[in-house]
């Protein structure tokens, strides 16, 4: 898991709608909104948990090979992340599925945000019975 990261967006209102939708599926709250930035999660503590994401307004975004992966608590959360991304202006970059070429229980979904950033949600937990 990462400690913190910062990404850029060309439209902060659009980014907020998108990230509010997808991060809520993973239990990550928006904790602030300023004129040129949005913050999600909690500031890292001394023990290293949890993580913090900042999104900054930028005049241009070059989202070629950037990739951020978020830890999901379950396969259902991975599916919810994917559905929320598509419903909020994101695009498909790999639907929810097992990716055994990474690890036997690697269950992930890949999307692109409205600025082209590649995002992933992953869990390594087996499917829970309904």
30 DSSP β-pair partners: 40
Under 8 Å between Cβ of 98 and 26: no
Measure the CA–CA gap between 21 and 105, rounded to whole angstroms: 25
Displacement of CA 26 from its chain's centroid (Å): 8
pLDDT per residue as tens digits for the range 43-100? 655 555 567 788 888 877 665 557 888 889 999 999 999 999 999 999 999 999 999 9
Tell me the domains of the chain and their CATH numbers: 4-58+67-123 (3.10.180.10)
Q: What is the pTM of this model?
A: 0.78
pLDDT per residue as tens digits for the range 6-30? 888 999 999 999 999 999 999 999 9
Contacts of 91 (CB under 8 A, 6+ apart): 111, 112
Measure the CA–CA gap between 42 and 72, rounded to whole angstroms: 16
């Amino acid at each position: 898991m990462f400690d913190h990261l910062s990404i850029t967006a060309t439209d902060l209102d659009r980014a907020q709608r998108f990230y509010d939708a997808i991060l809520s599926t993973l239990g990550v709250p928006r904790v602030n909104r300023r004129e040129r930035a949005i913050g999600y999660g909690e500031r890292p503590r001394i023990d290293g948990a949890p993580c913090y994401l900042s999104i900054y307004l930028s005049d241009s975004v070059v989202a070629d090979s950037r990739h951020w992966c978020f830890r999901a608590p379950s396969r259902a959360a991975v599916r919810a992340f994917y559905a929320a991304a598509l419903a909020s202006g994101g695009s498909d970059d790999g639907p929810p599925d097992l990716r055994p070429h990474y690890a036997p229980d690697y269950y992930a979904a890949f999307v692109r945000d409205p600025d082209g950033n590649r995002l992933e949600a992953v869990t390594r937990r087996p499917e829970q019975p309904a």
